Chains A and B, each alone.
Chain A
Amino acid sequence: MDMTLPLLILVLPITMFLILGLCGMKMSHKLAGTLGTIGMGITAILAYTVAFTYFFSGNPDFVTAEGVRQQFEVFNYDWLAFTPTLIVQLGFLLDPISALMLVVITTISFFVHLYSLGYMHGEKGFQRYYAFLSLFTFSMLGLVVATNIFQMYIFWELVGVSSYLLIGFFYTLPSAVAASKKAFIVTRFADLGFLIGILLLSFFTDTFNFVELTSNPGTTISTLSAGGTFMGCSVVTWALCLIFMGGMGKSAMMPLHIWLPDAMEGPTPVSALIHAATMVVAGVYLIARMFPVYCLDEASMDFIVIIGAITAFYAAVVACAQIDIKRVLAFSTISQIAFMMVSIGAARPELHEGLGYMSGMFHLFTHAMFKALLFLGAGALIHAVHSNNYTDMGGLRKYMPITHWTFLIGCLAIAGIPPFSGFFSKDEMLTAMYDNSMFLGVWMTMVAGLTAFYMFRLYYMIFWWEENPHYKDHKPHDSSWTMSLPLIILAVVSCVSGFIPFGHFVTWNGEPYDIHLKMSVAITSIVVAVVAIALATVLYRKKNDVPAKMANSVKWLWTAANRRFYWDEIYMFVTHKIIFNIICKSIAWFDRHIIDGTMDMFAKVTQKVSYAIRGLQSGSIQTYVLWYFAGAILLGLVVWMMVI
């Protein structure tokens, strides 16, 4: 395959970033926005071309005669040679999941660019915003097409920083600054694990390359096993779990999830792009990328499943008790990503041809669409009522029909109601989980039910419940076409994308297979979803005091859930009280007083001694001579004794 197009996919966004970043201040808002959007549009077209070529051209590089999809390195340049064998390369790996991600990222990114034309209209720093979006897109694309784990790490950091910049976009707000800092530091901490994981992995296997690592996973594992064990776990498990730690950070798994809700301080389209659809699934993507290696190590797979399952449930419960609509969506995102994690973690090649892998990626795709839809919808709402809290909303369905309908579609999709896309992917995931273990299946079904409940609670609270009196002064209305169009298109996609025969495109080993609904699971999940929606309908359709009473009856639970089970407080305590106040301050004190004090002490002691012995120079000749004589005699005696 010609490398021009793939290269352009990367070059275009970074060029946009540079142009907008360097010359943006000189441009008008309109020009900058248009430029960014068009650039992104072209990138999207290129990405689609590449993805379609990959999936449909039948080129033997991409797919064998038997229909097995291949991994193909379009190009791979040496970037930095640590040792003659351990070389970091920058390249473009085309395989099912990267092609899929190309589509997802460029699509959402384009819609967000378009949407932001309206949403960010007139904001100060509009050009900067577009520059950052381009930077993010570049980094994310670089991440997904990485040919080696180190390239992924590079772009991993870059998306981190783009995310930092975008969360802190409204940099005059202290909350935004704090949130962006938190996001960066938490993910950075996770990346530390990732880095150590890479160190271990690359040291034993002497390669970073994904293809080399995954084409012969057995060898990879056995070379890693040669590293022996440390603290009861094998090096394999250590390496893989540490790498997963990186994923936990980016994908906001417990206990590293705390940054994501706060990240909602950023502009809403950013939340849609980064914190719902693309960046946060990087963790899932990472595991999927390394899946052939992971699936040979039970311990790390179990670790993934456990973390995922706990996170999914936790996030779902917390989502039920949030007031800020973006926070609800954020926790829903955490929960859904955890779903994908569990799905991939539960997948085994021998179980159902690794169904969990396929379904996880499928859900990644559908979730990206409907979650972006929901976020953009939320953005429209916030734009309209100038508040993030649903308590300031209610009854909006009359005022904002487009938003209402698209939002509803999003909710249905996430709740897993057929024929919307979420149903299909979730069903496959649950199937994979039931295959893995009954308990896991039931647990995750319960989470799915909670998902349906809190989404519809949100839906009703926004669009039904009771009309907010403020509307009289300031009538909310649907937004301009730039904002509505993405909503509509994404809604359509959410409706239809479930029917994509995903198993033909993305499977763990490239061999396509048909997917079919497993009726028992499908029916169970539909029933659970419907019951949950019904419950939400009963509770929240009209204003009543039942929810408040319920909340009051288990007040501690409600408060705890509302406060996200005090995770932030714990973190605050550890970082501020312990690390900052105790460790850092004492180190700084130690430095100033002990280390520096010692150095100063040398000086002081010298001065003191100098002062103390000044009597030697008494001014009297007789003392001088006494010293003289004593010195001469002493000199003789001491040396004489030495000689003897």
Chain B
Amino acid sequence: MQVKEFKPLIVAFCCNWCSYAGADLAGNNRLNYPAEVKIIRVPCSCRVNPMFILRAFQRGADGVILCGCHPGDCHYTSGNYYTRRRMAMLFSMLDFLGIERERTRVEWVSAAEGAKFSAVMTDFAATVKALGENKRLEDLRCKK
């Protein structure tokens, strides 16, 4: 059997007001990043329920990244502060259960940071790729 190169599947939840626009800017400037990254638009990073993250892992994602406005810059003034607490706690819990902490990440990317968006996604994809397939939070039923 031929060994296929492992391509991680990465779900990126992006705040409509900053990181999603940052991704657009990365596009405008043709700043490449791995195609494994698939973006889901949310109104604010605080819209992201831990259930969505677990769902992504269940369905076969190898990494989940959440991007929001820099603290202090939230379009809704405080949404990303709640995100910060929720995700800090969630990630710590996943780590507690022995799930690789590098599989989840929160990054603050503003609408002006196209280069940062591209760099963050490139780095995250490389990190997840190095980790290999998500085994610890997989649902065998969802495997192809």
Do A and B interact with each other, yes or no? no
